[in-house]
Amino acid sequence: MPAGDRALAWHQRAYRSLLVLYPPSFRREWGPAMVQLFGDQLRHPRRPGRAVGVRVWLRTLDDLLSSVPRQQWEAFMEQTSTINRAVIVTSVVAIAAALGTGLAVVTAGIGPAIPLAIVLAVVVVIYRHQLRRFVTRRQGLWYRLLLAGIGLAAGVWLAGMAYWSTHETTSALFLIVGNTVFLLGVLLVLAGTAMGLGQLWRRTRQHERHT
Amino acid sequence: MAAADNREPSSFQPLPTTALYILLALTEGEKHGYALLGDVERLSDGAVKVGAGTLYGSIKRMLGDGLIQEAAERPDPRLDDQRRRYYRLTGLGEQVADAELQRLATLLQRTGARVAGRPRLGEA
């Protein structure tokens, strides 16, 4: 193999290894054509010169920076159904609401607690009335954990509000029990979300294998 | 691609820059990826330089939208690499290219005189 061909093969191997950054479905469909086009740029440069390789690599790296995130995003949007996206968004909101409410309980800040309670209520309503009909029995555990966690965190917050409205000081026992139950609620929310996302990830992998 | 065929050309507007240049390049005939890469650069006077990822990402979307299609016939293997994939415009693609050029022409008509009459930076 002549030195020029060897160098070209090396460049193409290096570029092919970078294609791992793209989503598998895109790589399978367009990878060979992309490697060929990359090779064409080196074999038949439009502006011949000594720094052809450098120019092609600079353009390629610039292209990777812009096209990889776009293709990953498009693949995510194609592979996840509307309901899965709703689960992700709601889970993120649920975690943020639970953590924010916890902060409000610990610091006894009434101000942030009210909007957070509203967010929490909205999340519960969405889960109960919108997502429930899409959730099968097999998927149900993560969903029940998430709901239980939100319920616990909301219950602790309401109890705390009721307690502080009638007592001037907070007993150590109330703080320990309240914080423990709240922490349990947060852990349930996190566990439920992790299981839900794990299920989504497995389903996406199965989808990729079949396409 | 029945769903794409039912779409109005105006529903694609404004067309992404790379997609417009690809459509314009394909009005000259069937082309493969490397030829399109060069044509995008030539038609834009070097202002738009795309790489393989951007080009095939655009081609994938345009195939999905029914603006272009892969050509079934391959050139003579003695004249070209058989592995190359060739693309051509569809009827919808032609309509979309015309509509986008019309939109740009209208824009130029409305603003061109104003831009031309404006003093440039550094002029009194």
Spatial CA neighbour of A98 closest among A200, A11, A181, A204 = A181
Q: Which residue has the tokens 């299920």?
A: A199
> With an 8 Å Cβ cutoff, is B46 touching chain A?
no
What per-residue confidence (pLDDT) applies to B72? 81
> With an 8 Å Cβ cutoff, is B51 touching chain A?
yes
Q: How close A206 comes to chain B (CA, Å)? A: 22
pLDDT tens digits for A104-113?
Answer: 656 655 555 5
SS3 B81: coil
Q: How far apart are CA A162 and CA A188, in angstroms?
A: 24
Q: What is the interface size between A and B, counted as CB pairs within 8 Å? A: 56
Spatial CA neighbour of A36 closest among B76, B52, B63, B77 = B52
pLDDT tens digits for A30-40?
Answer: 999 999 999 99
C-beta atoms of B53 and A40 within 8 A = no
Are the C-beta atoms of A134 and A83 separated by less than 8 Å?
yes
Q: How close B37 comes to chain A (CA, Å)? A: 9
Residues 55-74 of A with CB under 8 A from B: 59-60, 62-64, 66-68, 70-71, 74
Which CATH topology does B13-117 take?
A: Arc Repressor Mutant, subunit A (1.10.10)
ipTM of the complex: 0.82
Q: Is the model's pLDDT at B3 over the cut of 50?
A: no
> With an 8 Å Cβ cutoff, is A142 touching chain B?
no
Q: How far apart are CA A169 and CA A166, in angstroms?
A: 9
What per-residue confidence (pLDDT) applies to B2? 45
What per-residue confidence (pLDDT) applies to A164? 67
Q: How far apart are CA A38 and CA A135, in angstroms?
A: 46
What per-residue confidence (pLDDT) applies to A35? 94
> With an 8 Å Cβ cutoff, is B98 touching chain A?
no
Q: How close B112 comes to chain A (CA, Å)? A: 32
Q: Find the CB nearest A40 among B34, B59, B60.
A: B34
What per-residue confidence (pLDDT) applies to A153? 74
SS3 B46: coil
> With an 8 Å Cβ cutoff, is B27 touching chain A?
no
CA angle A53, A58, A63 (to 5 degrees): 125
> With an 8 Å Cβ cutoff, is B33 touching chain A?
yes
Cα atoms in the 13 Å half-sphere on the side-chain side of B77: 2
C-beta atoms of A44 and B84 within 8 A = no
- Mean pLDDT confidence for A19-23: 94
Q: What pTM does this model have? A: 0.60
What per-residue confidence (pLDDT) applies to A45? 84
C-beta atoms of B53 and A33 within 8 A = no
Chain B residues close to A55, C-beta within 8 Å: none
Q: How far apart are CA A159 and CA A122, in angstroms?
A: 19
Chain A residues close to B36, C-beta within 8 Å: none
Are the C-beta atoms of A34 and A19 separated by less than 8 Å?
yes
pLDDT tens digits for B17-30?
Answer: 999 999 999 999 99
* Chain-centre distance for alpha carbon B42: 12
Spatial CA neighbour of B1 closest among B91, B96, B94 = B91
C-beta atoms of A37 and B37 within 8 A = yes
Q: Which two tokens stand for residue A149?
A: 């966690």
